[in-house]
Structures are given as C-alpha cells and as structure tokens.
Chains A and B, each alone.
Chain A
Amino acid sequence: MEEKLIKITKRDQPSKAIFFLTPVLAIFLTLVAGGLIFYVLGFKPFEALKFFFIVPIADMYGFSELLLKATPLCLIAIGLSFCFKSNNWNIGAEGQLTFGAIVSGGVALLFYEQEGFYILPIVILAGAIGGMLYASIPAILKTYFNTNEILVSLMLVYVSKLILDYLVVGPWSNPEGFNFPETRQFSDSARLPLLFEGLRIHAGIFLALAAVVMSWFVFYKTYLGFQMKVSGFSLKTAKYAGYKGKKMIILVFLISGACAGLAGVGEITGPIGQLHREVSPDYGFTAIIVAFLGRLHPVGIIFASLVVAITYLGAETAQIFMQIPKYTGQVFQGMILFFLLASDYLLFFKFKFIGSKK
C-alpha cells in the first residue's frame, strides 16, 4: 500500500515563465509570512501590512522618499549584476559604497569654500574612482593570488567603515562641529541638485537610470557583454575562445565598484551634504537581494529596487504609527531572499498532483 498525493519531477528545462514569476511569488509569500509574524507579535496583520507597504507611499513626499531609497539600491544592484552574471561573487558593495563616499567626500571638502560648475562632476568622478579602487582589491587578489573574493570583499566592508569612522571623528571632523562625528557641510556646488521643492529626491536618480541603460546596452549589444556572458557560463569556454579571463574579472569588479561608489556619492552629496558615520543603511548588502530579485536583468532590477525600498520606508512608518520595531524591515528583506531562493526550486522541478493510489 503506497499513497502518493504529490509527485515531484525534474523539469527538462527551466521554465521561462516561472523564471519571471518566482520573484512575484516570493514577494507574495513574504507578505503572507510577514502578516503571520505581525499576528504572532500581537498586531493586526492587515493594518500592519498597510502601514508597512501602502501608507509610506501614499503621498508625493512618500513617493519621493521611495525613489530616494530605490536609487542607491538600483545603482548598486546594476553594478553587482555585472559581477554575478560572470560568476564573481562581490559581496562587498557596502564597502565600495563607503570608500566611494570617503573619496568623493574628501574631494568635496577640498572645495568647501568654492563655487563652480566643475566641482560636482569632479566629486562624482572621485566617488566612482574610490569605489573602483576599493573593488580592485578583491579582484586583483582573486586573479593573481587565487583568494576567495567573497571573504575579501566582505571583510573589506568593515575596514572601510572603520576608515570612515576614523576620518569623521579625527582629521576630517568639522572644526566648528562641537566634536560631533561629522565633517563640514559641502558647498552647494558639490551637491547633487534636488529635483523638486520640498522633496528630497535628487539628481542621483539619473545616475541610476543611466546605469540601467548602460548595463542593458553592454550586456545585450556589445562584444564585451558577450564575453562576460560566455565567461559567466563557462570559464573553460572563455579560455578556448581566447577571451582574457583575468581582465574580465577585474573589469566587472571595477564596474561594480564604480556603481557602488556613485551610490555613495548620491548619499553624501544629496540630502545630507556631509560625511558622517552612517552613510548607508546597508544599501550595499540589500542590493544583493535586489540584484537577484530582479533576476540580474536591468529592468527587473528597477522593479526590485522599488519593492525592496518600500521595506526601508515601511519599517519607519510602522515604528512610528504602530510601535513595531523598525528592524522588521530587515526581516522582510531576509524573507524576500529566502522565499526567492526557495521558489527557485520550482524552476527545476514541477509538482504533479495525483489522486491517492493503492
């Protein structure tokens, strides 16, 4: 007597429809599980979810805040998609963001009393270069010394945060700042312009959109993108075709570092206008989730960054209105990734429901 109700069989090929549906499924499951968690914690699930996901973006200000948070996530995730598509596991975007912020902040401080149209481009460029420099460390160690890029890039995150800490407390701290751990305010010429009166959304969003277009173009239209694609699928094939594998690894890390560095620029030269201890609420780590939720596709990443950005806003609103701890935001981000990975099982296996059999 054997009873089988569900039969799990391997798919012959991953289903394309499911490839794009699983992120949606993951978000749905996250909402369900989130509702359950709220319920267990003693909150009304639907009300909590409303405060988490709808109230924060119900007005123009909220919507601008959403774009503000989504901008760095999108930018970094686009950069990471270059790495992840070619099997380079850069986990240290947070560090590259921080170091980009340090370099561009340093340059902005150099110009703190000056005005001029040329200052902002230099500051932006400095941020990109800072991110690239920092990303080149794991890349070079990986290509020439066979180190594991996951460990190196991850550990360098903490190094960059300590450097930032040292600078804002020590040499770069504002002389008139009563020993607060922050630098002087940058001059207006070193600031990314705000787009609308009274809203915090700034010109950094154009950097993110430019990155989206650039990555789409590179991936789908250029020889470089083709080589990355091949190297990502099989290094053996790339070698056989005669592509320069090491250069490719360094290049994707540089692109990824530049994007993270630019996200850092956006954080300090946008609404804040100075360097301080907390330049990023872990955008660099969260962007990893965004990249995978967006299926490493430029357009997918735009949507994913908006979805994940809500969890940042929702956490704050829910804390203010319902006294739900704001760390629930991170719980939600974790759940999205968890459910996404879990539903990827469906890509390769399918369930067949069959009646009970004797």
Chain B
Amino acid sequence: MNTNLKISNVTKIYPGCIANDNVSLEFNSGKIYALLGENGAGKSTLVKILSGVIIPDEGSIYLNKNNLKLNSPLDAKKNDIGMVFQHFNLFETLSVFENLIIDSDEQRESLREKIEEIMRKYNFSIDLDIPVLNLSAGQKQKVEIIRCLIRNPKVLIMDEPTSVLTEQETSELFLSLKKFSEEGILIIYITHKLKEVMQLCDEVAVMRRGKLVSVSQIKNENLESLATKMVGQNLKTIKKKKASTSSDQLINITNLNFISEDPFETNLSDINFSVNRGECLGIAGISGNGQSELFQVLSGEILSDKNSIEFNKNYIGDLNPQERREYMVAFSPEDRLEQAAVPQMKIFENVALNNFKSSNFFNNGLINEKKIREHSKKIISDFNVNTDNIDLKSQFLSGGNLQKLIMGRELITSPDLLICFNPTWGLDVGAINYIHETLVNINEQNKSIILISTDTDELLKLSDKISVIHKGKLSKIMNSDEVTSEKLGILMGGGEID
C-alpha cells in the first residue's frame, strides 16, 4: 500500500526566531527523502513536529489524507510514524530484549519471535540477552530501528543517524534503509552530510533559516550545488599544503597508561606517539573508544606519570591544565557547553577561563576586568564571532559562534600545540569551513595540532599523520596520504590491516 505524508503550511515560531516558516512538503513511499540543512535551519523542529514532540503554531500534517493530531510522541507512534533520534534512548544496563519490550504491551514470547523474525529478515545479528552497554554504536542504532519496526511503521524518520557510525556500519545502515524503502516504508533522512544524501536518497529537500529553499531530484544535483543551496553562498575550498618535513619533535608521549575506576570509562594502555612542529596528528576512532580519556590525559584533567609526556623538552605529565598552558599548550574539548564554556556566564567571563600568567587577567588575586574585556573584544573581531556584545551570556551564541570563541580564546596567545577534540561536531558547513581554515593556518605557522575526531573526512582533510584509537589502544601512526577512509574504518572497527 502506498503511503503519502503531507506537511502543509507548518509554522513554528519561537521568541526571536522562526524555526519553521510556512513549510509544505509531500512524501511518497518507495523513495528515500533527504531533509538537508545546516544546524539551526529548522530540520530538527520539523522532525520534532512529525514525531509529536513539538506542536506547531500553524499548519497540519496529513498521513494518507487523514489529518493527524500529533500532541505527543505517543500519537506519532499510534499513527505509525517511527523515529530514530541522533542520541539513543536506551537503558544501558538493561538487556537488548528488555529495552525492546519496555514500551510494548504485547506478550513477551510472541514479541521475541517477532523480533527474531525482523532480525532474520534484515540480517541483523544482535544478542538479545546482553546488556546494551556492551553494544557498539551501530548495534545500538539497530536496536532503536528494531524498536520502530516492531510497530510496523509506515514512516521511518532517521535523525543524523551516521554521526556515531563507522564507514562499514554506515554502508550497512544504508543497505537496510534501502530494503525498508523497497518494502514500502517511507524513509525521511535528516542530515547535513552532503555525501550521504548523494549516496542514499532519491529526493532532497533543503532548508535554510526555517524556510524550505528547494525540493529536487538527486540525479539533478551534485555536491557543490547542494552545498550552495544549503549555505546560501559559495564556499571556499580549503587546501592543506604538504607539511614541511620538519623533524623537530614538539611533544612525545611514551608508555602512557590510564586505568579508570569508572566502569563506563575506557582504560588507555601503552600510548606512544610524537608530533613534530608544524604537524597535525589526527586520531580517528568511533566515539567511546578512549578519545575522551586521551584528551583528558593530554590536557592534564587526568594526571599521569611525569615522564610520560615530554613537551618541548619539559616533562609535564604531572601538571594540571593551567600549568600546562604556561608551556604554550592549548585545549579545545569536545563538550562546548558543559566543559569548554559555562553557558550561564558572560562571554568575557568565559574568555578568562584560559588564564595564562602573561595575560594578566588576574593580578594579585583580583579580577582585572578591563584587561579581560579588551582581550575578549580582540578575540571576537579576530575570530569572526558574530556578536559585538561581550556581556552576552554565552548560552545565546550559536554552536558555531561558541566554537569560534573557544578556538579564539585558546589560539590568541599563539600556543605551540593545540589539542582539540571533535572541534566541528554539530556545526554547520559555514562554521566547519571556518574552523578547518583556522586549523590549517595553525600548521602553516609551524605550530602543531593533535586532532581527535570521529569525523573521518575531517581527519583526512587536515591531518599529516593519522592513528586510530580502538578500545583505548592506538594503532600504528600512518602518513595520511597512504590512508583511505576504508582502511580507517577497518581499524576503527578493531580490524587489522597489512
């Protein structure tokens, strides 16, 4: 049976911003639709409206000509709309089976048969009786998908599903999605990754600033045309010059270990690497394989053996982040809102978090507000942060602007080494471009970067050398021109290459 989903003149207004401005779209089963847009373009709002999380101010949703009243996620489920969110909603300590039956009132036995049948049909192999915390991200996502499939959905919405997957897992997911589509499930695929749209989808709807800007057939589009539609302007292409073959070693990590007391953290074992001046070392890996721990050990949030980290001929393994900064190391953590900045504090206060002695932000224990303000103004203009009010609380900055502020704060003292972790996570293309440009510039000034990232494209674009972290262990370090994303994928999944 054919499924037709129609969004008609949907508007959702938040104070100060129109999230969806009179959006009308029509979807038919048998095709895979992409909903493409930068962060803040209104995709998430639209998807939340479809899944009943948000109620629109105006407009209606029709499924096979029936006007749907979606006042809660439950209404969406009842109307056969399934949704897999970017962040998994699973109970880590419960088994896969328990997670699947938690919101169902069917009999356990019959449900188990049904689940096993679904898994056979789509070639999923997951042990139903192990706790979810033992699953990889790709498997967790399959659990979420099964949870939708149990209800025989007519519509399946996937929200940025590949952000945590490896290349292999991504192609597996795409195969499954194509199969679902053949079976008559209407697939709506939300993303800001252009390549995936080209690979997977049949039709693409592009949103920008709350408005629908275009609907077109994929066969009439290419990467450039989509990027231009999405951003609304042409993007500069970033070219990284080949690194000057410097052999001047800046940082050297030897026999670094970390054993965590927390079972949800990953132990690091026997980490060894070094980075030369002007070089960018990329560390790839699926999130949760020890990246966060590695970042913390490198930043000094977790202290280690004094001799395990040698920086510029000083041993700094036992120094805290502030002390390490004095040696001209800078850090940009993954979590912009929880760690790198305090959202409730003003911009200039957040600037003071990176406190070098020479910056004189604090004299004899007193706050030197004038100095901090001057410094903040300089960061804002030098790093293109889109505001001129340094008294603004940083929670009101967009992700991209906040990341620019953080990068600026870390880089304005021109440190010798920048350690950054997922610097472009969740940012829109324009901001990503800017950050990438900044990182390339750092290398050109003969400064070094350790780039820990889950985005393979980013790593291949920016790194001179690449290593992969898997279960707290680093692979051998490879020159980035010998590396392909397929090779990285194998290593990220724990495999071996020649």
Contacts and interface: CB of A to CB of B under 8 A. Distances in A.
A239 B321 CA distance: 8
B333 A230 contact: no
B180 interface: no
Interface residues of B, number: 34
A222 interface: yes
B345 A241 contact: no
Contacts of B340: 237, 240
Interface residues of A, number: 21
A240 B362 contact: no
A358 interface: no
A236 B345 contact: no
A237 B14 CA distance: 30
B191 interface: no
B495 interface: no
A229 interface: yes
Contacts of B396: 13
A233 interface: yes
A213 interface: no
Contact of A223 (B331, B338, B365): B365
Interface string A220-239: 11111110011001101101
Contacts of A233: 342, 344-345
A234 B339 contact: yes
A266 B367 CA distance: 33
A112 to B, nearest CB: 40
A236 B345 CA distance: 15
B320 A242 contact: yes
B322 A242 contact: yes
A8 to B, nearest CB: 13
B326 to A, nearest CB: 10
Contacts of A244: 320
- Looking at chain A's contact residues, the main secondary structure is helix
Contact of A234 (B322, B338, B355, B367): B338
B367 A237 contact: no
Contact of A12 (B15, B321, B338, B362): B15
B367 A241 contact: no
A212 B331 CA distance: 37
A230 B353 contact: yes
A32 B453 CA distance: 59
A243 interface: yes
A226 B372 CA distance: 13
5 closest residue pairs by CB, A with B: A242-B322, A242-B321, A223-B362, A233-B342, A236-B339
Interface of A: 12-13, 220-226, 229-230, 233-234, 236-237, 239-244
Interface of B: 14-16, 299-301, 320-325, 331, 333, 335, 338-342, 344-345, 349, 352-355, 362, 365-367, 393, 395-396
23 contacts: A220-B367, A221-B366, A221-B367, A222-B365, A223-B365, A223-B367, A225-B367, A226-B349, A226-B352, A229-B349, A230-B342, A230-B353, A233-B345, A234-B338, A234-B339, A234-B342, A236-B338, A237-B338, A237-B339, A240-B301, A240-B340, A242-B322, A244-B320
